[in-house]
């Protein structure tokens, strides 16, 4: 058998060849190591191969046998049955789906492995078991009798004939044919507290684990590698940002800021004052600011951002504030333009729904320097919008924008300062990873006068009672207004969800027939939508039915009741965002989450936690535990190593260790540390050679 090395081309691996190698190259798989780093997406536990005579009802098992008979049968349901026998007995395999394919796929005498749960109906049977055709004793060793990897499948791989089964053959051949153990950059005692598996053993065990414990140990080692690579990436980017110098500067806050603050009908909270001071200090540095502002729902982040925009205007710079929805952008402009103008700033707003002539006029004024602060949606990144001297970019609800969108806006200036905001508090683990290259400002205090909010969750059989309660409260006249939130705009045959439009017809003619009811969603004409929201804010509408288009930023101090339909379909952080729509005035708020269908244990935990907790920072941590980080809260960075093995919720010890190791081999400026010993130099060399590095889009995200 020819020996392989990690750098051997896949073309020369048994089962690949030139044609398949060309197709794999299009997927970024060129060498043996590329293939080994393509980890299984799941596993079939076939460690217990049972003889058919010893099957037990209710047990999940794997059996190996030959096809004795097979064919299509008719009855109450058309089905395909296959009789599998070994040396001890025979059992029936039953299928109700994929019948045509199955009928053509097998023949008498085929050797198969079947994995499934044993049932009984006129004899032992397995319904829809996982099947693998075995051609030889070698196949039994790879595809059965062990924990079997299931590899990701793509249309490209299917065209090449590389099923998960074929991929198993290739990975098994590669692991058997490697001439030497895979090199390990990490000395065995470099992170003694973790007792990490060697890299060679981890890669072998992640493909073909001997036991579940071995698989978890392999996952942890590879997760550490991922987290270390990400920490290196983040620290290197942070260091490079510190090395840049921006072409503009700031003077201490003066008349514009003083006038604006004096005119406020309230005093900023201590947390707002602290974060404002952090931003001022950052803006006065020679390096471009890259700061994340996060905090509790309703904590007043927008005020701090508006102050920053005004400060830029005061220093002869332009500021751009980009919001994810037209509703939110229009609200920012409506709420702040008068005060900003009075303080000496020239303010405009732009969106895709404006008439072309109006957009052209605004773009002309911005390009000539006649606008200091431009507020808008993604229309800000249109090619037609050019800035005279863009000094500050503010991204509101930044996770709603893609990397490319954020980068385009940032590129319209010359190293502008950057402030990104999110109303989703960032868990510490995410702050250390996805946002590790940004300075963090936290508003952990709510403005005075915010009323308490009571939260409960109920199953759908309580819906009629809930709607009756809403009607009674609204009819009382002094109990405020209500939101009812739906996950869908229109009725769908694919998902059994009541839509906002369907609910509006039902409720406006039924339970709410005596109330002023309206609805909004993302597809409603912008002018009509804004008119509806204005009427709701002015108290002319009692109940507003809406999708999550009102999730962030919509401010109606008179709203006191929020009903969330199909609450089981929302994550914890999103549920908490929605809760922030009520209790913004002096009246107590009530949130009722309605759940439908057979709820999973995780869904019940999520809804119970939502009802019992109101602290957004605690909820963010719990959401990370229950749902995982998603794509790093929408902040997947260009060139950043992906996390496929690491789980930020359960691998916090690995994350801390990875940060410590990265800090041992690098300086705070992102440069190699001095006087590294041989073990540290090996770590640094691996990171420098293997971690792809690109500048972050947006100079920070």
482, 545: one domain: yes
- CATH number of the domain residue 372 falls in: 3.40.50.300
Q: What residues contact 569, with CB distance under 8 A and at least 6 apart?
A: 487, 497
> In this predicted structure, what is the pLDDT of residue 434?
63
Please report, rounded to a whole number, the percentage of residues in the chain having pLDDT higher than 90. 39
604, 462: one domain: yes
Beta strand pairing status for 439-443 and 559-564? unpaired
What's the whole-model pTM score?
A: 0.70
Q: What residues contact 185, with CB distance under 8 A and at least 6 apart?
A: 199, 682, 683, 685, 686
pLDDT band at 530 (very low <50, low <70, confident <90, very high): confident
296, 352: one domain: yes
> What is the spatial distance between Cα 236 and Cα 667, in angstroms, rounded to a whole number?
9
> In this predicted structure, what is the pLDDT of residue 2?
63
357, 494: one domain: no
Residue 508: pLDDT above 90? yes
Whether residue 669 lies inside any domain: the answer is no
Q: Which helix (H) or strand (E) holds 394?
A: strand 390-395
Q: Name the least confident of 131-145, 478-492, 578-592.
A: 131-145
Boundary (domain end) residue, out of 606, 627, 648: 627
- CATH number of the domain residue 118 falls in: 2.40.50.140
Residue of higher predicted confidence among 256 and 404: 256
312, 406: one domain: yes
> Which CA distances in Å does 638 have to 231, 406, 420, 650?
15, 12, 17, 25
Tens-digit pLDDT profile for residues 61-85? 888 888 999 988 887 788 899 999 9
34, 85: one domain: no
> In this predicted structure, what is the pLDDT of residue 682?
93
Whether residue 259 lies inside any domain: the answer is no
- Total length of the chain: 701
> What is the spatial distance between Cα 574 and Cα 425, in angstroms, rounded to a whole number?
11
303, 419: one domain: yes
pLDDT band at 131 (very low <50, low <70, confident <90, very high): confident
Boundary (domain end) residue, out of 580, 596, 627: 627
Residue 557: pLDDT above 90? no
> In this predicted structure, what is the pLDDT of residue 693?
42
Residue 396: pLDDT above 70? yes
Residue of higher predicted confidence among 25 and 490: 25
Whether residue 328 lies inside any domain: the answer is yes
> In this predicted structure, what is the pLDDT of residue 354?
86
3-state secondary structure of 108: coil
Which structural domain range is residue 25 located in?
Answer: 10-41+151-177
> In this predicted structure, what is the pLDDT of residue 692?
52
Tens-digit pLDDT profile for residues 345-365? 999 999 888 889 999 999 999
Residue 433: pLDDT above 70? no
Number of domains within the chain: 4
pLDDT band at 423 (very low <50, low <70, confident <90, very high): confident
User: What 8-state DSSP symbol labels residue 355?
Assistant: -
Residue 636: pLDDT above 50? no
Residue 149: pLDDT above 70? yes
3-state secondary structure of 390: strand
Q: What residues contact 639, with CB distance under 8 A and at least 6 apart?
A: 233, 692, 693, 694, 695, 696
User: What 8-state DSSP symbol labels residue 326?
Assistant: H
Whether residue 464 lies inside any domain: the answer is yes
439, 457: one domain: no
Please report, rounded to a whole number, the percentage of residues in the chain having pLDDT higher than 70. 90
Backbone angles phi, psi at 406, to 5 degrees: -65, -40
Q: With contact defined as beta carbons under 8 Å apart, do 293 and 272 qualify?
A: no
Residue of higher predicted confidence among 293 and 113: 293
pLDDT band at 261 (very low <50, low <70, confident <90, very high): very high
Residue of higher predicted confidence among 308 and 452: 308
620, 539: one domain: yes
421, 552: one domain: no
Average pLDDT over residues 645-670: 86
3-state secondary structure of 80: strand
Whether residue 240 lies inside any domain: the answer is no
> In this predicted structure, what is the pLDDT of residue 60?
81
Average pLDDT, the chain: 85
- Burial pattern 170-195, b for ≥16 Cβ within 10 A else e, equals bbbbbbebbeeebebbbeeebbeeee
Tens-digit pLDDT profile for residues 176-205? 899 899 999 999 889 988 889 999 999 999
Whether residue 202 lies inside any domain: the answer is no
Whether residue 251 lies inside any domain: the answer is no
Boundary (domain end) residue, out of 107, 133, 159: 133
Whether residue 164 lies inside any domain: the answer is yes
Residue of higher predicted confidence among 207 and 432: 207
425, 492: one domain: no
Residue of higher predicted confidence among 308 and 498: 308
> In this predicted structure, what is the pLDDT of residue 129?
87
414, 383: one domain: yes
Residue of higher predicted confidence among 400 and 575: 575
Average pLDDT over residues 472-480: 83
> What is the spatial distance between Cα 167 and Cα 36, in angstroms, rounded to a whole number?
11
């Amino acid at each position: 058998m020819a020996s392989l090395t990690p750098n051997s081309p896949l073309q020369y691996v048994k089962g690949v060849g030139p044609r398949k190698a060309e197709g794999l190259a299009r997927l970024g798989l060129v060498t043996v190591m590329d293939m080994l780093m393509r980890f299984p997406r799941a596993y079939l536990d076939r460690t217990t191969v049972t003889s058919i005579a010893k099957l037990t009802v209710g047990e999940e098992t794997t059996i190996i046998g030959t096809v004795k008979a097979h064919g299509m049968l008719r009855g109450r349901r058309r089905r395909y049955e296959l009789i599998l026998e070994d040396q001890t007995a025979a059992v029936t395999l039953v299928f109700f789906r994929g019948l045509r394919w199955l009928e053509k796929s097998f023949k008498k005498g085929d050797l198969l492995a079947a994995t499934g749960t044993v049932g009984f109906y006129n004899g032992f049977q397995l319904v829809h078991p996982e099947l693998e055709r075995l051609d030889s004793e070698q196949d039994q060793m790879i595809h059965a009798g062990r924990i079997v990897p299931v590899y990701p499948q793509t249309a490209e791989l299917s065209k090449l004939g590389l099923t998960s089964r074929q991929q198993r053959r290739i990975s098994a051949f590669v692991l058997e044919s490697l001439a030497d153990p895979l090199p390990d950059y990490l000395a065995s005692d470099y992170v003694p507290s973790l007792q990490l598996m060697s890299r060679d053993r981890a890669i072998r065990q992640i493909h073909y684990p001997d036991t579940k414990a071995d698989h978890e140990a392999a996952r942890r080692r590879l997760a550490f590698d991922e987290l270390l690579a990400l920490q290196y990436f983040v620290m290197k980017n942070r260091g490079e940002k510190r090395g840049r110098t921006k072409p503009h500067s700031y003077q201490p806050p003066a008349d514009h800021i003083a006038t604006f603050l004096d005119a406020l009908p309230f005093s900023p909270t201590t947390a707002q004052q602290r974060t404002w001071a952090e931003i001022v200090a950052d803006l006065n540095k020679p390096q471009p600011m890259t700061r994340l502002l996060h905090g509790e729902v309703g904590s007043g982040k927008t005020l701090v951002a508006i102050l920053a925009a005004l400060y830029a205007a005061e220093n002869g710079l332009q500021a751009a504030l980009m919001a994810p929805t037209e509703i939110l952008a229009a609200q920012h402009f409506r709420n702040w333009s008068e005060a900003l103008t009075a303080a000496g700033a020239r303010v405009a707003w732009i969106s895709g729904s404006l008439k072309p002539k109006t957009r052209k006029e605004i773009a002309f004024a911005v390009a000539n320097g006649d606008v200091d602060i431009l507020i808008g949606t993604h229309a800000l990144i249109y090619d037609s919008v050019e800035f005279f001297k863009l000094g500050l970019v503010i991204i509101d609800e930044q996770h709603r924008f893609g990397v490319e969108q954020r980068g385009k806006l940032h590129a319209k200036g010359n190293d502008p300062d950057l402030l990104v905001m999110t109303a989703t508090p960032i868990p510490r683990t995410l702050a250390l990873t996805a946002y590790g290259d940004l300075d963090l400002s936290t508003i952990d205090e709510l403005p005075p006068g915010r009323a308490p909010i009571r939260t409960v969750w109920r199953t759908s059989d309580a819906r009629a009672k809930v709607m009756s309660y809403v009607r009674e409260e609204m009819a009382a006249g002094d109990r405020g207004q209500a939101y009812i939130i739906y996950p869908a705009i229109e009725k769908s045959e694919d998902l059994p969800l009541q839509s906002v439009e369907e609910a509006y017809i039902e409720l406006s003619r039924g339970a709410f027939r005596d109330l002023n009811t309206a609805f909004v969603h993302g597809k409603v004409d912008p002018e009509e939508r804004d008119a509806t929201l204005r009427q709701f804010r002015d108290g002319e509408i009692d109940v507003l039915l809406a999708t999550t288009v009102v999730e962030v930023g919509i401010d109606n101090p008179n709203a006191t009741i929020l009903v969330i339909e199909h609450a089981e379909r929302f994550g914890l952080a999103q549920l908490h965002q929605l809760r922030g729509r009520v209790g913004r005035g002096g009246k107590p708020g009530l949130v009722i989450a309605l759940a439908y269908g057979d709820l999973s244990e995780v869904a019940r935990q999520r809804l119970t936690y939502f009802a019992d907790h109101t602290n957004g920072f605690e909820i963010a941590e719990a959401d990370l535990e229950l749902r995982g980080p998603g794509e790093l809260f929408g902040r997947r960075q260009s060139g950043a190593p992906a996390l496929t093995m690491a789980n930020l919720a359960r691998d916090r010890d690995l994350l801390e260790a990875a940060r410590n190791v990265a800090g041992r081999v690098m300086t705070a400026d992102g440069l190699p540390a001095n006087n590294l010993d041989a073990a540290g130099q090996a770590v640094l060399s691996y990171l420098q050679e293997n971690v792809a590095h690109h500048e972050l889009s947006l100079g920070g995200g």
